[in-house]
Amino acid sequence: MRRVVVTGIGVLNAIGKNRTEFEQSLREGRCGIIPLTDPAHREFRFSNAAEVPNFNAADHFSLKEADMIDRFAQFAVVAAREAVAHSGIEWTSDLRENSAIVTGSCIGGQTTEDQGFFDVYKMGKPRVHPMTIPKTMANGGASAISLEFGITGPTFTIATACSSSAHAIGQAFHMVRSGMCDVAIAGGSEAPFSYGVLKAWEAMRVVSHDVCRPFSRDRNGMILGEGAAMLVIESYDHAQARGARPLAEIAGFGMSSDAHHITQPSAEGAAKAIRMALKDAAIAPEQIGYVNAHGTGTLVNDPTETRALHLAFGDHAKRLAVSSTKAMHGHTLGAAGAIESAAAIIALSTGILPATINFNEPDPDCDLDYIPNKAREAQVEYALSNSFAFGGLNAVLAFKSFS
C-alpha cells in the first residue's frame, strides 16, 4: 500500500478566512461565536453562532457564478482554491482526468431550499427558483470544485451528519493509498443558518444559550458553526516527484457504527473507531500525543467521548493531550471533520496544540487533559481527529507529523 500525504490545506470558518488566519486563531484561542447576524434569526431559544464573518460571494465569484451555487458550495470552492494553491499542484490534462474529489456535507444547500419553501408555503408564491434543486443537492460543493479545476476523476459526496467530511477524507485516503488515483481534494463544507434549519436545531434542545464549553462542568450545549476545509491529498511518491513538501501523513482511518441509538452516542462505538484507526495506521496507543476531540460541549457527548478514550487508550488516556476546537469555530456539522483535521495537521506541523477555550471547571466525568484555555507547545508524532455523528456513525483519522 502506498503512503499518503497532505500537501495543501484550505480553511474558511468563524475564526479564519484562510489557513493563515485559522492557524493564528488556534494559537491565540480566539472565540468566533457571535450573535446571529440575520435579524430574522433572533427569536430562537439560542442567539449565538459561529458564522463566517463578512463573507461576500462577490469577493470570490462573478455574480453569475455565485447565483449558481448555494453558500455551502461557495465555501467549498473557496477552501479548495486555497488548498490547491497551498499544495502548489499544477494541473495537467492527465492529472485532471485522474484526480478525485470527495466532499462531506450534512445538510447541503438547505438554506436555498428553505427560502424556496418559505416562498411557496408562507408567501403563497406559485413557483420556486429553478436553481433550487441543483443548489440544494449535497454534492453541490463537489461538483463546483470539479467545474472550478476541470477535474474529471471520481467525484462524489458523503453525507453522514457530523462525520461527513471525516468519512470523505478517509475515503479519499483509501482511494489514493490503493493506487486508484494519485491526487484527491477532500474535505467538507456547511452553511446551516437558515430559519428552518435553526428551528430544527432549537427543537433538539442541544444548542447552548451562550458559548460552547467542551468538557467543562458548566457546559450547556453546542454552538452551530459554518465554514469549510479542504485538503489536497496525494501519494507520497507523487508529492516527492514534484518536489512538494508534505504537511503531514495520513496514517490511518477507522470507522464504526454504534448500532445503539439514533441520537445518543455510545462510548463502545466511538472506541471501536479509534482502535480501528490505530490498527489501520499500525501504531500503538502510546504513539498518539494529541486528540482533536469531537467535543461538542453537549451534556452527553463529552463524558461519552471521555469514556471512549479511556476504553481505547487504557492507561495512556491520562497522558493524552485532548482538545475541542469547536469552542472556537463552533460545530460545523458536515465540515467539522475536515476543519478539525486541518487543526490537527496544523498542531503537528507547528508544534502548538490548540486549547479547549471557554473551559471553566473540571467535570469528574471528563477526567482527561483537555488543554484548558491556553495553547501548548508540544511536538507530537501522531494525532487523531474524532468525528462521532448523530445516527451513531463514527470516523477517526490518524495523522503523522512530517518533520
Known active-site residue 86: no
CB of 252 to other proteins, least distance (A): 32
Contacts of 396 (CB under 8 A, 6+ apart): 166, 253, 254, 255, 273, 274, 276, 277, 384, 385, 386, 387
Catalytic residue among 106, 294, 329, 366: 294
Give 23 or 305: the residue with its C-beta nearer to other proteins. 305
The whole-angstrom separation of Cα 28 and Cα 22 is 10
Helix spans in 19-163 (H)? 19-28, 63-68, 71-87, 93-98, 110-117, 132-136, 140-149
Give 42 or 209: the residue with its C-beta nearer to other proteins. 209
Q: How far apart are the first and last CA of the chain?
A: 22
- Residue 127, all three cell numbers: 413557483
Catalytic residue among 86, 167, 331, 366: 331
CB of 303 to other proteins, least distance (A): 13
Residues near other proteins, by CB under 8 A? 45, 203-205, 209, 261-264, 300
The whole-angstrom separation of Cα 26 and Cα 22 is 6
Does residue 234 contact residue 262 with C-beta atoms inside 8 Å? Answer: no
Give 22 or 201: the residue with its C-beta nearer to other proteins. 201
Give 282 or 300: the residue with its C-beta nearer to other proteins. 300
Catalytic residue among 162, 181, 212, 366: 162
CB of 40 to other proteins, least distance (A): 19
Amino acid occupying residue 275: R
The whole-angstrom separation of Cα 332 and Cα 343 is 13
Give 152 or 264: the residue with its C-beta nearer to other proteins. 264
CB of 46 to other proteins, least distance (A): 8
Give 227 or 265: the residue with its C-beta nearer to other proteins. 265
CB of 205 to other proteins, least distance (A): 5
Count of Cβ atoms closer than 10 Å to residue 218 Cβ: 11
Which residue is listed with cell 454534492? 139
Does residue 341 contact residue 8 with C-beta atoms inside 8 Å? Answer: no
CB of 304 to other proteins, least distance (A): 12
Work out the burial of residue 62: count CB atoms within 10 Å of its CB; fewer than 13 is exposed, 13-18 middle, 19 or more buried: exposed
The residues annotated with a catalytic role in the active site are: 162, 294, 331
